[in-house]
A and B are shown apart, each in its own frame.
Chain A
């Protein structure tokens, strides 16, 4: 991970052969008209993703303005209490789930390949699927507001308020199924980003040379992998409670409403950093450019990113200081909440030192970055205040908290994103946003923000609670609330001015992008649909500053892959630390299948919510069919064994097993899977610990011999899959493979049938939370068996059609991983369920 080395000389001769560039352009060309929407390349998907996220920012912002209008004067009846509940719930939910997380992923999808010197992300169709799922699901979810079906239990949806007793309608279900599903799309994006960042960097871009923004996105994607499963499990449990009366959160039947809070905030607090760290990465990329000097403390800032990400997982319970946790537990969390300020401060001091050391250029990004630092530091300081337990007890659920988190989120994320849009928008068509307008936009947003939110600290200290739809005049909050409303509209005016400026800038004729800020990172190299003409070899932390000839060399095709070597879309896969070229990664082209699959998936979840079951299952079949059709065309033998990537330098085409990018993506997906399982296991342990006797009276576990037989069948199934793989390795053909895989499936089905029979005999999930928690674990295992039920015939069919071989075996390798994981999960479930009563004896 050293940061300096002698660059290898560029190899290709120039000028390049006639027709080479035309072929490259043809392979990567974006289709026009309505076919544009079948596009999967990161630039197009990234732009659609960013635009959709900004649309949700505006929509949620309008809801925020409605809230401020309602609270502008006392005893206001502009919105009724019920409508107000829906409006504030949707404001928070849409801002957090449909704007903040998606926009940071979207910017990553758009920027990272070019910044890393890749032609595209490694799974373009997965990016397209994730985007369309988010767009369809998000828009449908937002539309619930227009029919009075929007969720109304607050953006963190605490039960028992959101249980069927107090929220009997469909409103809460829309939140649970809609948001749970959209999170799956965020996880798909995270997998894409991790594999892309680790394995498709430009040759020579070691981890030490990787831009800080890419580091931030890598850290954030890993955080998504571990944080999101908790809320996915939580939403599944609450929906199971609502749909089948499994009482996970109902105290009278052994459940615990705090279980939801633990699961939600184990996601919810890291989420704050999932939003902030990409913004911090953008700041660390922009500040050296505007200061014209290297980032001070670069290595310390990267280490601090990692430190923040890990500490952020120990802070969840500081949202629960008034929930009745033990004093010692709360004190540990309080201490961790203060400790996270240390690595955050390292980053802030690094930025200040860089500005100090350099010569700052005053332009639009600079204004927004300085605004960010001012607001975010204030939000951080109030964060340390609320980490102090007695202070938190005083201000919990007051407007002080509303002020605090808006300072953190708008300061820590919205201002950097606006700085980023001013900074990176020229990449779209070469035009910069107006500097003159930018001063107005910034002035209105900065002043408006502080006028809106600073007074809320005081209204909070004066005792105004969150989420009240109106208040009496004698409370003395009138003036401060009116001031907040004025500020909110000033802020909104700034956003409107920005939107007008962006609209007219994007309509201007296209011009050469160049390097308008004299930046050091690779996204400013000349670029088209295919990315850079040739993939660079990087030799420093700041390639465009230290390698001044790079842009010319890249355009002349002197670096890697100045052509399409296989006649298809390609990029170079590199090693994870030193970024040495390893193989040619052939990428899939445009397709409607991701869009159709995403439509089917989102329609399935939404129709399930409104209980249109036959139609819902039809959409599920459409989704599964589309995904299978898209994977059917993948994993074919590469057209050539190896190709010339640069003069005299040959690379193999594709890779197998643990050397392949799809293997790594499957492993990460299984880590997500295991984390969801761990969340269900935590729910089981949590409700068990509330019992005096385990299992509780009336509940009974199946005989041990039955459980062991079930585990044995799972192991046998895995063994058969291992044999099938071994056969392909040794003999090179897959003649026996379908029968072995189908026999393995029979074992898995028999195992689950045994489990079901055992649980049915002694468990009634609607009677106790304990039984429900066991049933949840069993159901999750059942979901995996259903998955195997789809995958096994698919694999057998591929084998029968001759599509499995030594050079086209990713499908087999990846399904084998899923199979072995299912076996391990089944055994782990039995162990957890059996061990807990033994420990409590």
Chain B
């Protein structure tokens, strides 16, 4: 089955379809982790978490997902009616991740400090 998975491009397809969600995970983990670390005794930063760095991470994640939306639209247009579940799922997941990253970045505009 391992060889079958390889022949069918299983991991490649799974990766392309779920990449937007993986980007969301990476973005969320980075932002939460940095904000938490910079509010602990060991990593305390005067003025609270580094919002510039957090915003940069958010912008990067947003850009990647926007690119993935564009790619998924391109694949759907190119393949027309022959497209399968993976292509449709890739588009929807990219849109979901885009919304979640944009919405998740909003607190950076509104909240500062640790307390």
A-side interface residues toward B, CB under 8 Å? 1-3, 198-199, 206-208, 299-300, 302-304, 306-307, 310-311, 313-314, 317, 325-329, 331-336, 338-339, 342-343, 346, 573, 575-578, 580, 582, 655, 657-661, 663-664, 688-692, 694, 840
Q: Is the CB of B31 within 8 A of A332?
A: yes
Query: Which B72-106 residues have a C-beta within 8 angstroms of A?
Result: 82, 84-86, 88-89, 92-93, 96, 99-100, 103-104, 106
Of A333, A576, A689, which contacts B32 at CB under 8 A? A333
Q: Is the CB of B49 within 8 A of A1?
A: no
- Once A303-B88, A332-B31 are accepted as A-B contacts, the answer to whether A339 and B99 lie under 8 Å apart by CB is yes
Q: In whole Å, how far is A407's beta carbon from the nearest beta carbon of chain B?
A: 24
14 more CB-based (< 8 A) A-B contacts, given A326-B36, A582-B4: A299-B92, A303-B93, A310-B21, A314-B32, A328-B48, A328-B49, A328-B54, A343-B96, A575-B4, A576-B10, A577-B8, A658-B2, A659-B3, A660-B1
1/0 per position for B31-50, CB-CB distance to A under 8 A? 11001110111110000110
Q: Is the CB of A336 within 8 A of B8?
A: no
Q: How far is the CA of A314 from the CA of B29 in the complex (A)?
A: 8
Q: How far is the CA of A302 from the CA of B18 in the complex (A)?
A: 12
B residues less than 8 Å from A661 (CB atoms): 1
A residues less than 8 Å from B52 (CB atoms): none
Q: In whole Å, how far is A367's beta carbon from the nearest beta carbon of chain B?
A: 31
A residues less than 8 Å from B86 (CB atoms): 1, 207
Q: Which A-chain residue is minimally distant from B101 (CB atoms)?
A: A339
- Once A1-B84, A326-B35 are accepted as A-B contacts, the answer to whether A332 and B104 lie under 8 Å apart by CB is yes
Q: Is the CB of B18 within 8 A of A306?
A: yes
Q: Is the CB of B41 within 8 A of A690?
A: yes
Q: How far is the CA of A227 from the CA of B73 in the complex (A)?
A: 33
Q: Is the CB of B104 within 8 A of A304?
A: no
Q: Is B56 an interface residue (CB 8 A)?
A: no
- Once A1-B13, A332-B32, A659-B2 are accepted as A-B contacts, the answer to whether A578 and B107 lie under 8 Å apart by CB is no
Q: Is the CB of A299 within 8 A of B4?
A: no
- Once A2-B84, A333-B32, A582-B1 are accepted as A-B contacts, the answer to whether A326 and B92 lie under 8 Å apart by CB is no
Which of the listed residues A199, A208, A299, A694 has the most CB atoms from chain B within 10 Å of its own CB? A299
Q: Is the CB of B85 within 8 A of A208?
A: yes
Q: Which B-chain residue is minimally distant from A691 (CB atoms)?
A: B42
Q: In whole Å, how far is A91's beta carbon from the nearest beta carbon of chain B?
A: 32
A residues less than 8 Å from B43 (CB atoms): 689
B residues less than 8 Å from A578 (CB atoms): 8
Q: In whole Å, how far is A54's beta carbon from the nearest beta carbon of chain B?
A: 34
Q: How far is the CA of A127 from the CA of B19 in the complex (A)?
A: 33
8 shortest interchain CB distances as A-B pairs: A658-B2, A331-B107, A1-B84, A575-B4, A303-B92, A208-B85, A339-B100, A303-B89
Q: Is the CB of B107 within 8 A of A328?
A: yes
Q: Is the CB of B8 within 8 A of A302?
A: no
A residues less than 8 Å from B5 (CB atoms): 575-577
- Once A302-B89, A689-B43 are accepted as A-B contacts, the answer to whether A208 and B84 lie under 8 Å apart by CB is yes
Q: Is the CB of A300 within 8 A of B42?
A: no
Q: In whole Å, how far is A301's beta carbon from the nearest beta carbon of chain B?
A: 10
Q: Is the CB of B21 within 8 A of A307?
A: yes
A-B contacts, 23 listed (Cβ < 8 Å)? A207-B85, A208-B85, A299-B85, A299-B89, A303-B96, A307-B21, A307-B93, A310-B24, A326-B39, A334-B107, A335-B100, A335-B104, A335-B107, A338-B103, A346-B92, A575-B4, A575-B7, A658-B1, A659-B3, A661-B1, A663-B1, A691-B41, A694-B42
Q: Which secondary structure characterizes the binding site on chain B?
A: helix
Q: How far is the CA of A317 from the CA of B35 in the complex (A)?
A: 13
B-side interface residues toward A, CB under 8 Å? 1-5, 7-10, 13, 18, 21, 24-25, 28, 31-32, 35-37, 39-43, 48-49, 51, 54, 82, 84-86, 88-89, 92-93, 96, 99-100, 103-104, 106-108, 110-115
Q: How far is the CA of A333 from the CA of B103 in the complex (A)?
A: 11
Q: Is the CB of A339 within 8 A of B110?
A: no
Q: How far is the CA of A329 from the CA of B39 in the complex (A)?
A: 10
Which of the listed residues A302, A332, A688 has the most CB atoms from chain B within 10 Å of its own CB? A332
A residues less than 8 Å from B113 (CB atoms): 326-328
B residues less than 8 Å from A326 (CB atoms): 35-36, 39, 48-49, 113-115
Q: In whole Å, how far is A688's beta carbon from the nearest beta carbon of chain B?
A: 7
Q: Which A-chain residue is minimally distant from B2 (CB atoms)?
A: A658
Q: How far is the CA of A582 from the CA of B104 in the complex (A)?
A: 44
Of A2, A332, A577, which contacts B82 at CB under 8 A? A2
Q: How far is the CA of A577 from the CA of B36 in the complex (A)?
A: 40
Q: How far is the CA of A692 from the CA of B43 in the complex (A)?
A: 9
A residues less than 8 Å from B28 (CB atoms): 314, 332, 336
Q: Which B-chain residue is minimally distant from A301 (CB atoms)?
A: B92
Q: How far is the CA of A334 from the CA of B106 in the complex (A)?
A: 11
Q: Is the CB of A655 within 8 A of B99?
A: no
Q: In whole Å, how far is B75's beta carbon from the nearest beta carbon of chain A?
A: 13
- Once A2-B82, A303-B93, A576-B1 are accepted as A-B contacts, the answer to whether A327 and B114 lie under 8 Å apart by CB is yes
Q: Which B-chain residue is minimally distant from A300 (CB atoms)?
A: B92
Q: In whole Å, how far is B68's beta carbon from the nearest beta carbon of chain A?
A: 13
Q: How far is the CA of A303 from the CA of B96 in the complex (A)?
A: 9
Q: Which B-chain residue is minimally distant from A333 (CB atoms)?
A: B32
Q: Is the CB of A840 within 8 A of B42?
A: yes
- Once A306-B21, A326-B49, A840-B42 are accepted as A-B contacts, the answer to whether A336 and B104 lie under 8 Å apart by CB is yes
- Once A302-B89, A688-B42 are accepted as A-B contacts, the answer to whether A335 and B106 lie under 8 Å apart by CB is yes
- Once A306-B18, A689-B43 are accepted as A-B contacts, the answer to whether A329 and B1 lie under 8 Å apart by CB is no
B residues less than 8 Å from A302 (CB atoms): 85, 89
Q: Is the CB of B96 within 8 A of A342?
A: yes
Q: Which B-chain residue is minimally distant from A338 (CB atoms)?
A: B103
Q: In whole Å, how far is B74's beta carbon from the nearest beta carbon of chain A?
A: 18
A residues less than 8 Å from B1 (CB atoms): 198-199, 573, 575-576, 582, 655, 658-661, 663-664
A residues less than 8 Å from B99 (CB atoms): 339, 342
Q: How far is the CA of A575 from the CA of B13 in the complex (A)?
A: 14
Q: Is the CB of B32 within 8 A of A329?
A: yes
Q: Which A-chain residue is minimally distant from B25 (CB atoms)?
A: A310
Q: Which A-chain residue is minimally distant from B112 (CB atoms)?
A: A328
B residues less than 8 Å from A331 (CB atoms): 106-107, 110-111
- Once A302-B89, A339-B100, A578-B8 are accepted as A-B contacts, the answer to whether A689 and B37 lie under 8 Å apart by CB is yes
Q: Which A-chain residue is minimally distant from B22 (CB atoms)?
A: A310
A residues less than 8 Å from B8 (CB atoms): 575-578
Q: Is the CB of A692 within 8 A of B42?
A: yes
A residues less than 8 Å from B93 (CB atoms): 303, 306-307
A residues less than 8 Å from B41 (CB atoms): 689-692
Q: In whole Å, how far is A820's beta carbon from the nearest beta carbon of chain B?
A: 16
Q: Is the CB of B104 within 8 A of A339?
A: yes
- Once A332-B35, A692-B41 are accepted as A-B contacts, the answer to whether A658 and B114 lie under 8 Å apart by CB is no
- Once A299-B85, A314-B28, A578-B8 are accepted as A-B contacts, the answer to whether A690 and B104 lie under 8 Å apart by CB is no
Q: How far is the CA of A346 from the CA of B107 in the complex (A)?
A: 25
Q: Is the CB of A306 within 8 A of B110?
A: no
Q: Is the CB of B4 within 8 A of A657?
A: no
Q: Which B-chain residue is minimally distant from A840 (CB atoms)?
A: B42
Q: How far is the CA of A334 from the CA of B41 in the complex (A)?
A: 24
Q: In whole Å, how far is B98's beta carbon from the nearest beta carbon of chain A?
A: 11
B residues less than 8 Å from A577 (CB atoms): 5, 8-10, 13
Q: How far is the CA of A645 from the CA of B7 in the complex (A)?
A: 22
B residues less than 8 Å from A310 (CB atoms): 18, 21, 24-25
Q: Which A-chain residue is minimally distant from B110 (CB atoms)?
A: A331
Q: How far is the CA of A208 from the CA of B106 in the complex (A)?
A: 36
